[in-house]
Amino acid sequence: MVENLFTKLEEIYPKMVDFRRELHMHPELSHHEEKTPEKIAAFLRGLGIEVRTGVGGRGVVGTLEGGKPGKTIALRADFDALPIQDEKDVDYKSQVQGVMHACGHDIHTSALLGVAKVLSEFRDEIPGTIVFVHQFAEEATPGGAKYMIEDGCLDGVDIIYGAHVMADEPFGTVGVRGGYASSAQDDFEIEVLGKGGHGSSPHTTVDPLVTASQLVVNLQQIVSRRVSPQHAAAVTVGSFQSGGANNVIADKAVIKGTVRTYDAEVRNMIEEALKQIAKSTCEAAGAGVNIHYVRDCPSMYNDPEEAKRIEKIAQYVVGTENVREMAPMMGSEDYAFYQEEIPGVYFIVGGENPDIGAVYPHHHPMFNADERSILNIGKVFISSALSYLSDEEIVPTGK
């Protein structure tokens, strides 16, 4: 059955590419997606799939009831774009000024729609239910996953799979790992409140810039001296603002940054340590402080047993030699919210191809990916869904 589905997927591949290019030419930013979810919903309805729109805000959920009773699996794709000017010289270049699909979400969406079309034509043979989760605002904080979950997109679902095309992995490869796959993300903003004055009389002021500078240095000691070397973590200050004139000491300095962790205990410890260091540093200088600490995404944790399933399926799809254990990423993904509710696996698919200029990183104005990655995502999705629902193992053929 799987090979028949693969053949059908390959037959409709040109239409999937057309859909991807249509999305690429008309990208929409996070929380401003209007036409994109409409197109997705119309496509799914055309397949006779039950569709719910406006899920969590702008999400779309399609439900395909199989012809036989069984478990329920969800497959997820995201569809928002980024505030970046498209600089590629291609026929399907973005037509929206300052907005482009620079992270492959158009690839993900087209792949999942192709999967829906193929599976819908074989629904009578499917033992269970397949839920197609089309998520909005993955690039936002917090992402759309949280809102879609609150609106019931996972109700009755037993497991979820997700995929991401990667611009720095060769086309034809697949990566997956059990356990932690990406870090949690927290963001912070610290206001150092001093007493301003003239630059010629620093002794009459409480200089927030100097205090904030010391704070930046002190924060670097959290990872180096409070986190075990056996745990990965990062505390990064990415923004520092204070004053504006060369002879004026300002009243306030503001630093902003991000924290990345895997382990929940380390995450809690760093938040506590950051707040304590900020307060004590400012107190020692006679300055006040306001701390705004926001928890964004949890760490993404792939179910170890299900990751083994995906690994074998990927070996079946692209060949054993083209499947690797992906390294855990310090970037975050709001897919992790789904995994807080139910078991899940998130895998990556190579999209790099120097022959077509697909060599630029994600979020780059020249970003592109080999569109054949649509097929690889689709084949892994189809195989994993059928394997899980039927409790049948798909064995690699060594091709």
Binding positions for Mn(2+): 103, 105, 139, 164, 363
Question: Is 80 in the active site?
Answer: yes
Beta strands in 157-251 (DSSP E): 159-170, 174-176, 179-182, 184-193, 197-198, 233-242, 248-249
Give the active site residue among 28, 33, 78, 80: 80
In 3D space, the residue among 130, 119, 116 whose CA is nearest the CA of residue 1 turns out to be 119
Burial per residue of 180-200, b for 16 or more beta-carbon CB atoms within 10 angstroms, e otherwise: bbbbbbbebebbbebebbeee
What are the DSSP calls for 16-76, one per residue? HHHHHHHHHHS--BTT--SHHHHHHHHHHHHTT-EEEEEETTTEEEEEEE-SEEEEEEEEE
Residue 286 has what DSSP assignment? T
Contact present, 123 and 47 (Cβ < 8 Å): no
The amino acid present at 99, given as its one-letter code, is V
CA distance 137 to 80: 5
Contact present, 196 and 230 (Cβ < 8 Å): no
Binding residues: 103, 105, 139, 164, 363
Chain-centre distance for alpha carbon 38: 22
Residue 315 has what DSSP assignment? H
CA distance 289 to 211: 10
Residue 96 has what DSSP assignment? S
Alpha helices in the chain (DSSP H): 2-25, 35-46, 105-120, 144-150, 208-226, 264-285, 304-318, 336-341, 373-390
Find out whether the peptide bond into 208 is cis, omega within 30 degrees of 0. no
Give the active site residue among 86, 106, 138, 370: 138
Among left, alpha and beta (phi > 0; psi -120 to 50; other), residue 72 is beta
Question: Is 352 in the active site?
Answer: no
First to last CA, the chain: 18
**Positions marked catalytic:** 80, 138
